[in-house]
Amino acid sequence: MRIQTLYIDQAVADHPLCTTIAARLGLSPEPVASSEAAYRFVADAADPVATGKRTLLLTRNKGAFIRPCPGTSYYTCCNYMILHIGTFCVMDCAYCILQSYFHPPLLQYYVNQSEMMTALDTVFAEGEIRRIGTGEFTDSLIWESVDPVSEKLIKKFAGQDQAILEIKSKSVDIEHLLDLPHNRKTIMAWSLNTESVVACQERGTASLEARLRAASRCQKRGYPLAFHFDPLILYPGCETDYLAVLDRLFNTIDPSRIVWISLGSFRFMPDLKPIVQARFPASKIIYGEFIKGMDGKMRYFKPQRLAVYRTLVDRIRHKAPQVTAYFCMEDDEAWQHAFGFTPAEKGGLPAMLDRAAIRHCGLRP
Amino acid sequence: MKANPISIRLTQINTEDCEFQISTRQSVDGLAASIAQIGLIHPPLVISRPDSAYAIVSGFRRVRACRQLGWSETPARLIPDGRNTMEVLALAVADNAQHRDLNLIEQARAVAKLSPFFANDADLAAYCGPLGLSLNPELVSRLKRINRLSLAIRDCIGRGSISLGIALELEKLDGPAGQALAGLFDGLRPTLSQQKEMLSMAKDIAASEDLSVPDLLETGELAKIRSNRNFNRQQKVKQVRAFLKKRRYPGIQAFEDAFEKSRRALELPEAITLRPPPDFEAQKFSIVLTFQTAAELAAHVQTLERLPADSHFEAIINKRLADSDPIH
């Protein structure tokens, strides 16, 4: 983690985690009375996104630690719960929606983890099957070098059987997690993309080979696994490239160990386009054939994305018929076209994923 | 402020001194004819300079018209000595704005000349109100950006062929790109929404194909369309838009063409219109039918009843149109 500026919210300045993190980063922190000073520092920079990736604010999460995924209207959401450990990311993917999601974009890490653990205890006690992940507003594993939060969470989740934790990443910092007593309650997940997308659009991420190797190591240690083909980037020849990635995946990983595979095509709020143009001038991803979707986000023209979905779903079904594959934020037409059924016919997408989690992770409904 | 009526020789007026010029209007023919017939109703406003010449504050065209008429002297209104530059500029703005609406270039020129005297855009906007120039801080900021545009683009704005919004988009581009687009809009006079669409598509095509905007707009097929004498302006606008759309969205265009072909194959009467969902994104199609009599309605119902069995109809509603290649 290459942080250049470290701010510490005065409210948590005495927290031992702040001292530890500052020492690990080798930085002298600047105490601030509120988040405003850090926000202003980032917002006033020539490139706020790049500055935000080098600026860390240690603070406390003043809101809820566990929140529903902010799925949009019309399209089907999996009703995943987000565990809010921090915000933003040190990796730099051209398509990353977080560039325009946070105002301003800033790395924040929440040190009031005892409250986070209390929130988890409350959820565990509710007696409902829950799928909870840390990789929505940040990458799950980028914090491990300064605070092994995933290690703490894996141990926490191992002690119950109502919820699974999904750790979702494009990095491979897993060495310290391999021998943990995970009790199959943590799913190790990786975002996958084609070699050309990883090379050209995902700055600072682990290679595809490294991600698959890390997944294989986790498989050997008994972790349930998941993979996310999201965002799918459409370009001439992309189907061949994505099929090659699927083949590599199934040549490396035993499909019976995969809890789910998600597919989702590149979609973004219109605000992202000028940011990508300015920050990634060589990138062509925003010049795809996009229309404004029913939720106001730009999406690939539907017949184009449906064609790719169908090709990939056919391959997944051929190679791994038992794996639960699903779409992240698509409508019934996409499901019917690619899978031949709608989520409602299977009890709804959340129920489909709950069943997969129960089967692979030993949850007790 | 009281100006003193005087009569001065036209040779004493330095028309090269443009410190207070706001107006962009050039032609004096109509004005000269008017002055020749009814005289100079509103004498120009001038200020004396240390070199004993006069500078025009307001009335550049009137002075040129008088010269064109061969006058040797003209009545004028002389601003008393002792007025500072800001006060004189205010008179120039007011004298123009109180007789007509200033165009965008004139407003931008007024803002550029007055802004050095104000600490912020809000103060400048407030000052301009009583002068007859209705501004707000946001507009002041936008007008300042106009002054950074090339002369060619400012001329287009002055002629009204491009709007302020479009001009500010052009200002973000490199000079040749902005000028190429301004030239396209000035020549074809598309509507504002058409300009926005063309601008967006041209920028995207150039960026995605590593082309320059001038190369895209001024060579190849687009150059042929623009120079084709057999097309009128509206036809050229239509052809240019179609060309840009096909180049920017080839898959969508192919799909829409295939949809139209299938829709025609249904041989629906004019009174029945089959409409796809916007951008083919949602799932619901609609059919609109119009009729005057029960017999017409009955005939339409018969037509509708045959649709579900029609293979073209099935292809349409399933969005599986054979002629379109979705990705390439």
Backbone conformation region of residue B39, classed left if phi is above 0, alpha if psi is from -120 to 50, else beta: left
Q: What is the DSSP string of A141-203?
A: TTTTTT--HHHHHHHHHHT-SSEEEEEEESS---GGGTTS--TT-EEEEEE---HHHHHHHEE
- The reply to whether omega before B43 is within 30° of 0 (cis) is no
Angle made by CA atoms B258, B259, B264, in degrees to the nearest 5: 100
Do A23 and A60 contact (CB within 8 A), yes or no? no
Dig out the tokens for B249 from the structure: 């969205």
* Nearest C-alpha in A relative to B250: A289
| A294 with B282: Cβ contact below 8 A | yes
Top-confidence residue, B165 or A260:
A260
Q: Does B251 touch chain A (CB under 8 A)?
A: yes
Residues of B in contact with A299 (CB under 8 A): 281
Do A197 and A171 contact (CB within 8 A), yes or no? no
Q: Does B227 touch chain A (CB under 8 A)?
A: no
Provide the pLDDT confidence category of residue B321 given band limits of 50, 70 and 90. Answer: confident
* Nearest C-alpha in B relative to A299: B281
What is the predicted pLDDT for the residue at B82?
86
Do B282 and A302 contact (CB within 8 A), yes or no? no
* Nearest C-alpha in B relative to A273: B204
What is the rounded CA–CA span in Å between residue B320 and residue B314? 8
Residues of B in contact with A307 (CB under 8 A): 326-327
| A303 with B204: Cβ contact below 8 A | no
Backbone conformation region of residue B249, classed left if phi is above 0, alpha if psi is from -120 to 50, else beta: beta
Do B54 and B46 contact (CB within 8 A), yes or no? yes
Task: Compute the nearest-CA separation of B207 from chain A (Å).
Answer: 8
What is the predicted pLDDT for the residue at A218?
98
What is the rounded CA–CA span in Å between residue A358 and residue A351? 10
Q: Is the pLDDT of residue B26 over 80?
A: no
Instruction: Quick: pLDDT tens for B127-145.
Output: 999 999 999 999 999 999 9
Residue A301 has its nearest CB partner, among B208, B251, B283, at B251
Helix or strand run (H / E) with residue B220 = helix B220-227
- List chain A pLDDT tens, one digit each, 365 residues: 789 999 999 999 999 999 999 999 999 999 999 999 999 999 999 999 999 999 999 999 999 999 998 877 899 999 999 999 999 999 999 999 999 999 899 999 999 999 999 999 999 999 999 999 999 999 999 999 999 999 999 999 999 999 999 999 999 999 999 999 999 999 999 999 999 999 999 999 999 999 999 999 999 999 999 999 999 999 999 999 999 999 999 999 999 999 999 999 999 999 999 999 999 999 999 999 999 999 999 999 999 999 999 999 999 999 999 999 999 999 999 999 999 999 999 999 999 999 999 999 999 98
Do B1 and B39 contact (CB within 8 A), yes or no? no
Provide the pLDDT confidence category of residue B155 given band limits of 50, 70 and 90. Answer: confident
Interface of A with B in 231-260 (CB under 8 A): 234, 236, 238-239
What is the rounded CA–CA span in Å between residue B136 and residue B143? 10
Per DSSP, B190 falls in state -
The CB density around residue B256, as the number of other CB atoms within 10 Å, is 19
Do B157 and B105 contact (CB within 8 A), yes or no? yes
User: Reduced to 3 states, what is the DSSP secondary structure of residue B182?
Assistant: helix
Instruction: Quick: pLDDT tens for A278-333.
Output: 999 999 999 999 999 999 999 999 999 999 999 999 999 999 999 999 999 999 99
Residues of A in contact with B204 (CB under 8 A): 287
Residue B281 has its nearest CB partner, among A234, A277, A291, at A291
Write down how long chain B is: 328
Backbone angles phi, psi at B289, to 5 degrees: -130, 145
Say if residue B231 is exposed, middle or buried (CB neighbours under 10 Å; 0-12, 13-18, 19+). Answer: middle
Predicted ipTM?
A: 0.92
Q: Which amino acid is at A306?
A: L
Q: Is the pLDDT of residue B306 over 80?
A: yes
Do A99 and A275 contact (CB within 8 A), yes or no? yes
* Nearest C-alpha in B relative to A304: B326
Top-confidence residue, B52 or B249:
B249
